[in-house]
Chain A
Amino acid sequence: MTIDQYLFALFALLTCGGAISVVICQNVVRMAFSLIISLASISALFFLLSADFVGATQLMVYVGGTIVLLIFGVMLTSSSALLQIRTSPAEGFLAAGIGVLFLSVFSFTVWSVDWDRNQAKLAGVTAVDVPPQGYNEASSGNTVRPLAMSFVGLRPDKAGKAPGYLLPFEIVSVHLLVVLIGAAYLARTKRRVSAES
């Protein structure tokens, strides 16, 4: 086994263990901590898959932003310390059974597809066989420049034959502005209306 495989096995175990302990824990603060472990390990998996910019964004936005937001939510909504709202054991067993069935369906589906043959067939139909340049070991860590160029609408990696992402980028930026205003409007403290006014 190479070092890549050892690291992949370690971070895969951490990811799955964190996700399972999010499901199992009843205390919401422990759930948040398990979620931090799981999301940080997912960003390590992104780095192992040579998606360096996506991994860095995952670390900054998810682990640094979204989780902090969730922990603030936990703090602002817990009426007592160590808040626990338990689900009944029957519901837990039912959910575990359904989850095992779900997971077995997904695993069977994933392992029964021959991806290489699929890829060859796709290349034969579309007559475009672009090797994933820049995302393999030979030139790993080279994704920032193509990503930035695709966000302003240029696609040098596909020789200009594929569309860029300028319009979705603009839509997402307007969406973020709307979400900012909407969240501030929803979360503001309402002024209490007295009966006589």
Chain B
Amino acid sequence: MDAIGLNNVLAIGAVLFVCGVICMTTKRNGIGVLMGVELVLNGANLNFVAFARYSSMGLDGHVISLFVIVLAAAEAAVALAIALNFYNNHLTIDVDRGDELRG
């Protein structure tokens, strides 16, 4: 039961979340922003599975993490289509160039 420990897994989830947030905010490549989103979702998934293992959450944590995986795949598909459209219109993937809607 205490071979791994809940706190260690939660710490890894925190590292993944922070890396994903930094990746989302600092990358200027649109695909890099998508990779940051994937890292954040995986950190949340790791927390769900850890609580499924070490608390009475049980099966619910596994089910929620499966839903998160499926929705992340769907999000990646749609965001990639948007990135391709962005590239077709701007001939670059730099997200700083997409500022035509600036007020």
Contact = CB atoms under 8 A, between A and B. Distances in A.
Contacts of A195: none
B67 to A, nearest CB: 6
Contact of A70 (B4, B14, B35): B35
A23 B46 contact: no
A190 B88 CA distance: 10
B55 A115 contact: yes
Interface in B1-41: 1, 3-4, 6-12, 14-23, 25-32, 34-36, 38-39
Q: What class of interface size applies to chain A in its complex with B?
A: 35 or more
Contact of B22 (A83, A99, A175, A186): A99
Interface in B39-96: 39, 42, 45-46, 49-50, 52-60, 62-63, 65-67, 69-74, 76-78, 80-85, 87-88, 91-94
Contacts of A133: 58
B78 A31 contact: no
A187 interface: yes
Given A19-B20, A150-B63, A87 B35 contact: no
Given A106-B18, A136-B53, A183-B81, 16 more contacts: A19-B16, A20-B19, A22-B36, A38-B39, A39-B38, A53-B62, A61-B70, A66-B73, A77-B93, A79-B92, A96-B22, A99-B22, A122-B56, A143-B59, A147-B63, A157-B59
